[in-house]
Amino acid sequence: MPEALVGVIGGSGLYQIEGLSDVEEFYPDTPWGKPSDALMVGKLEGVPVAFLPRHGRGHRISPTDLPVQANIYAFKMLGVKFLLSVSAVGSMKEEIPPLDLVVPDQIFDRTVARPRSYFSDHNGIVGHIPFAEPFCQSLRPILNEVSEASGATIHFGGTYICIEGPQFSTRGESLIYRQWGVDVIGMTAIPEAKLAREAEIHYVLLACATDYDCWHTSHESVTVEMVVENLHKNVGQAKEIIRRFVPAAAALQNSHLECGCDKALATAIMTDRGVVPAESVKKLGLLVQKYF
Ligand SMILES: [Zn+2]
pLDDT by 10s per residue, the chain, length 292: 899 999 999 988 888 888 999 999 999 999 999 999 999 999 999 999 999 999 999 999 999 999 999 999 999 999 999 999 999 999 999 999 999 999 999 999 999 999 999 998 788 999 999 999 999 999 999 999 999 999 999 999 999 999 999 999 999 999 999 999 999 999 999 999 999 999 999 999 999 999 999 999 888 888 999 888 888 888 889 999 999 999 999 999 999 999 999 999 999 999 998 999 999 999 999 999 999 8
Going from the Cα of 191 to the center of ligand 1, the distance in angstroms, rounded, reads 17
The answer to whether 171 and 212 are in contact (CB under 8 A) is no
This prediction's pTM: 0.96
Answer yes or no: is 210 within a domain.
yes
Examine residue 212 and state whether it is found in any structural domain, yes or no.
yes
Domain-embedded: residue 239:
yes
Q: Can you give the three-state secondary structure of 69-129, one letter per residue? A: HHHHHHHHHHCCCEEEEEEEEEECCCCCCCCCEEECCEEEEECCCCCCCCCCCCCCCCECC
Residue 197: what pLDDT? 98
Residue 132 lies in a domain: yes
Task: Count structural domains, the chain.
Answer: 1
Query: Residue 173, class by beta-carbon neighbours within 10 Å (0-12 exposed, 13-18 middle, 19+ buried)?
Result: middle
Residue 134: predicted pLDDT: 98
Instruction: List the catalytic residue out of 37, 183, 211, 272.
Output: 211
Domain-located, residue 36: yes
Domain assignment of residue 1, yes or no: no
Residues within 5 A (CB) of ion ligand 1: 136, 138, 202, 259, 261
Given 183, 213, 262, 272, which residue is catalytic? 213
The strand pair at 21-26 and 39-44 is best described as antiparallel
Cα-Cα end-to-end distance for the chain: 24
pLDDT value of residue 113: 93
Domain range enclosing 122: 6-291
Q: Quick one: pLDDT at residue 120?
A: 87
Reduced to 3 states (helix: H, G, I; strand: E, B; else coil), residue 41 is: strand
What whole-number distance in Å separates Cα of residue 84 and Cα of residue 59?
A: 19
What is the greatest pairwise CA distance in the chain?
61
Q: Are 72 and 201 in contact (CB under 8 A)?
A: yes
Neighbours of 220 (CB within 10 A): 11
The CATH number assigned to the domain holding 80 equals: 3.40.50.1580
CA distances 224 to 63, 89, 231, Å, are: 14, 12, 10
Ligand 1 centre distance from Cα of residue 86 (Å):
17
Does the annotation count 213 as an active-site position?
Answer: yes
Quick one: which of 102, 111, 133 has its CA closest to 202? Answer: 133
Residue 146 confidence (pLDDT): 98
Task: State the pLDDT at residue 15.
Answer: 85
